[in-house]
Structure 1
């Protein structure tokens, strides 16, 4: 057993923040971004590839027509996470990956197992708190959609 993590595994904050909202056949997805290096501002080709995946994915039923996604430019790959809010305070999960250097990224589904990294959990936590403070507190879903993650470090 290792006593400490290797240097490459040590935590270093990354920039994250809201990018856009995506309308799908199943509802609205708030899309936030994270970047390993610099600000999470991605080219149109990257955003279009991610949005295409989000629009083609089928949401579990029943759902509230509300969800969020995370587009993460990691050190070794692009990651795209998609979540829908379901009855009972449950969150669904989808995960895709694309190699860096491909323009546009070619996202492929990730087999079951991985869920999120430490940085993506920062966005998930923001969305959890936003959903509890708005929709689960009796406010209209519009209030949840208006609550977007400010540019911050995760």
Structure 2
């Protein structure tokens, strides 16, 4: 007989696309997730974007300036998951702020990467990238990629 896990059963969380932000040469799709039923507010979104600005590398032909940022009000912290595409490779950085703050810090390399709810968004990002960019290497549709509305609640 196995012991129960020390956690509640999985339940979907409110998940919505919050818009696309222009940050320098980058276009960043922001998606909010909430464990409380209230999506991250504008201050949390802006703080996560400001932290992401410091992590995004220069745009190149292989790195066309398409990124996504998940801002997740979780049960333990406020999380930011930044991902950007370089051809068919996804680069990811995880950020964390204590609940009740927007003071984001980079999660150390031995820290968590993403949770089950965030990975649902990452999968939708991958599907959109494949459909709009990787399947059309001679005519990538970046606007199409960014126009996909992620909503998983």
User: For the superposition of Structure 1 and Structure 2, which TM-score range results when normalised by the shorter chain?
Assistant: 0.7 to 0.9
| 14-23 vs 61-70, greater mean Cα deviation | 61-70
User: Structure 2: how far apart are the matches of 1:130 and 1:67?
Assistant: 12
Q: Which residue of structure 2 aligns with residue 130 of structure 1? A: 128
TM-score, with normalisation over the residues of structure 1?
0.86
Is the Cα contact below 8 Å between 2:17 and 2:32 reproduced in 1? yes
The structural deviation recorded for 1:9 is: 4.6
Q: Which residue of structure 2 aligns with residue 90 of structure 1? A: 89
- Corresponding residue pairs, total: 147
Q: What is the alpha-carbon root mean square deviation over aligned residues?
A: 1.9
The structural deviation recorded for 1:26 is: 4.0
| 58-67 vs 30-39, greater mean Cα deviation | 58-67
Name stretches of at least 5 consecutive residues in structure 2 with no aligned partner: none
Name stretches of at least 5 consecutive residues in structure 1 with no aligned partner: none
User: Structure 2: how far apart are the matches of 1:32 and 1:130?
Assistant: 14
TM-score, with normalisation over the residues of structure 2?
0.86
Deviation track 1:79-133 (CA, whole Å, cap 9, x = no partner) reads: 001001112x11001111000122xx10011001321100000100111111111
In the alignment, structure 1 residue 112 sits paired with structure 2 residue 91 = no
User: Structure 2: how far apart are the matches of 1:2 and 1:115?
Assistant: 27
